[in-house]
Structure 1
């Protein structure tokens, strides 16, 4: 450029050059100088860009083991200013002062070269290191950031993360306090609605079913959906949406699992419902179930308790009762009794029938309707079997006692009338045993007198003290059941019939 200007100046000073040529040369020189200056200005950005590229690549060449975080921090920026306003020294000093002021870093160092910032030092945690990278990237005229800081290792006794977590939890709890209060209000409303639904369903079931167990089942069935909906709404309001969905969706699955695990309990419960609906017996009935005979005392959701005639308590599962044959001796208050009397072949069958029939008709515990029957049943080698049938009121009288009293009276009457009653081991010869001698003719039976039995007491009472009266054992068994220990707690699903104490 200087040589060109010297040549132009010498050309203008040459004396031999004409005036027009000097003017033309001056114009050409000015044009050439302007062209040269313009080319210099146009070539400066390319030179600046070429100079910036090595500077940006210099840190990576100097540190070939840069981490992924440093590579991400040194990403190519979207825009690079050609004439930066802030100097590299000012950028580095400013970043060092900021990093030192935070007290999050130990010996923080910042350097800048051609707008690329290099950070060194020790950060107290990983988040502080990331914060330093973002801070340098946001600084004026910073082209790229290479963060070479290390994260300090925490001490085993450093509980700051736990305290930080507690502070976060406390803040979250305070923020969720309104939702928690509203959830508690929903739970309170659910509790009240459950009570109302339960009582309403129980009253409706009592009027509709007339059964305590069915009323209770209806009450719980009405309360279940109210509780589920209330819990779901409370969990949704408190932010436990996932748990609420799990609870709502898992209700059916839980029911299936419980039904499989407690199959026997569920079976007994369903059987108790069916027994309560069908009512095969009532409290105080004399029944025979699964070879067990006794008076029904109590029916619970698990089993039925009966008291045998010996005073023993027998607890039978309701599922077994529902599947078994039930013989209810108290369903019909009238019951038929029978016994067999054997008389000899020489005794009068008609006379025996009339005597037995008279005793049964006159007995206070024997019913006149149906009428007693005295039937000839069988001819045996030792005599004739006469079968007597008669009916009594089983709710008031004991069959064992009435049978004993009637047999006692009949035996006395037959003995008074001279009716013999042989057993299966002997043969009665009322006329005696004839002895036939070889030299004499056999004696005719008519020549021997009839043997008269010893007369018995004809005035036999209808009952004796030894028989304990004719009343059945219902009252005694009920009294024994009241004084005994309760085998299974819970309400009785059966009600005693009217008039039974």
Structure 2
């Protein structure tokens, strides 16, 4: 007979039996046999009940090791439980769980052969462990098959959704509190941005710098509110991840959008230093035009030809900037040649008189007429004069001054000969002798009336040159009528 471990109840029963046998005398062998059977049945019932109440074990990690199954510590020669009883008990337990489909158990000399179907591998392992712990079981051969799920089986997905829905219902009060606190955080962030922008706009001329500072102050407020929202929702680990990953995300974004960040920082420096203002005529990176706007990415120029040119802020900050409007007075010059037989001082005085009488040429700084060089057939003079470019057009004034200087030289009889040229006659120069009877043509004499300039020629500007005012107004009108190639807040607006 297999030895069965005694429980406290069995000890009490045997103690009472021993006491009774001592008090009443010796019992018969039939009484002793009956009592032993009762004790064994009680012990078997308690063992099976303990195995049934034990929860299924966790799924062990799948292993590819092909080790031999463990052998029992001891095999009883005369088992107490019959094979049929073990089969019946195991089948009932497997059916009671509801995990197995058509479970079967065949026992032969204490060796249990399990068969059937199950959905998961952990349930299959649980059945083997259950059979191995059953009384008088020597070994277990687990033939239960794990059913392969169809690719269209969405039961797991529906189960996850159901669990997620149940969890959301349970956490709905926390979610409502988190949403309310998120709304409060958004309102507090906006209020902080507006308050800080109002304070800094009074002390800073740069609109962009004020916006950047106000948003920099509002960012910690938003992060703190987001952390509290996640904390109230039970996502403390996610909250710490968000706060810890902010710096890393900023670093990654900085590398990915390096050019954008460079232009943005350049726009801040440009708005602080202000090397130009709206409407200035500037030249940057080989492009000349009137400045229309500056945003966080680029500056917009309207060229003198009426074209839009966008120049990145980083390029503007690095390149040489020529501002033609910073000083309203701009100096211009042109060259004019007179004959060697003409008086240089007379020609200088005439050209200087033309500049002094012209309304678009400023008196201070003074104009100059200097001898520049001695050419092959002319004495070259360089005429310097200043024009108020804020009021007058440089092209028109220069054209009018050259025209009037040439007209004054013609009236004064100052010649402006062409450059000497060398003419080669490969077949020789034909010479014809004039006889006494041949009539010599008289030279053509231009009447003085024809040398007198007309009123339009003597005017500071004629019909071809038009109005001498600056073309900045015309460019501005063209810019208003044209479509802006890029939207964005103008950083140079006060």
Range into which the TM-score falls when normalised by the shorter chain: 0.5 to 0.7
Q: TM-score, normalised by structure 2?
A: 0.68
Q: CA deviation at 1:248?
A: 1.9
Q: Deviations over 1:314-364 (max 9, x none)?
A: 211111111111110000111112222222222222222222222211211
After TM superposition, give the deviation of residue 280 of structure 1 in Å: 1.1
**1:356 is aligned to 2:351:** yes
* Structure 2: runs of 5+ lacking an equivalent: 1-21, 27-31, 45-65, 75-83, 423-444
Structure 1 residue 196 and structure 2 residue 186: aligned? no
1:457 is aligned to 453
Q: For 2:252, which of 246, 257, 273 is the aligned residue?
A: 257
Deviations 1:76-133 (A, max 9, x none): 9xxxxxxxxxxxx99999998787666566668899xxxx9x9978696755985998
Q: Which residue of 1 aligns with 2:481?
A: 483
Corresponding residue SS for 2:165: helix
Match of 2:332 in 1: 337
* Mapped partners of 2:259, 2:176: distance in 1: 42
Question: Which runs of 5 or more residues in structure 1 are unaligned?
Answer: 1-33, 39-43, 57-66, 77-88, 428-449, 497-501
Q: Post-superposition shift, 1:393?
A: 1.0
Q: Which residue of 1 aligns with 2:216?
A: 221
Aligned residues: 400
2:277 aligned with 1:279: no
Could you tell me how far apart the structure 1 residues matched to 2:382 and 2:446 are?
A: 26
RMSD of aligned alpha carbons: 4.4
In the other structure, the counterpart of 2:381 is 386
Change (3 A) 1:75 1:209: farther
Could you say which residue in structure 1 is the equivalent of 2:396? 401
1:379, distance to aligned residue in structure 2 (A): 2.6
Taking a change above 3 Å as real, the CA distance of residues 135 and 207 of structure 1, as seen in their structure-2 partners, is farther
Q: Is the 8 A contact 1:104 1:128 kept in 2?
A: no
Q: 1:121 to 1:353 in 2, by over 3 A?
A: closer
Deviation per CA, 1:235-259: give whole Å up to 9, x if none. 2332333333332222222222222
Identify which of 465, 468, 475 aligns with 1:467: 465
- Identify which range, 355-364 or 125-134, moves more after superposition: 125-134
Out of 297-306 and 98-107, give the one that drifted further.
98-107
Distance 2:265 2:123 in 1: 63
Cα distance in structure 2, aligned partners of 1:228 and 1:239: 17
Distance 1:374 1:104, change over 3 A: closer
User: Structure 1 residues 223 and 360 mapped into 2: Cα distance closer, same or farther (>3 Å)?
Assistant: same
Instruction: Give 1:310 shift.
Output: 1.3
**Pair 148,392 (structure 1): closer, same or farther in 2 beyond 3 Å:** same
1:81-160 to 2 correspondences below 5 Å: 126=122, 130=126, 153-154=146-147, 156=149
- Does the Cα contact within 8 Å between 2:361 and 2:385 map onto a contact in 1? yes
Instruction: Report if the CA contact (8 A) 2:367-2:384 is conserved.
Output: yes
Q: Using the TM superposition, give the Cα deviation of residue 177 of structure 1 relative to its aligned residue in structure 2, in angstroms.
A: 1.7
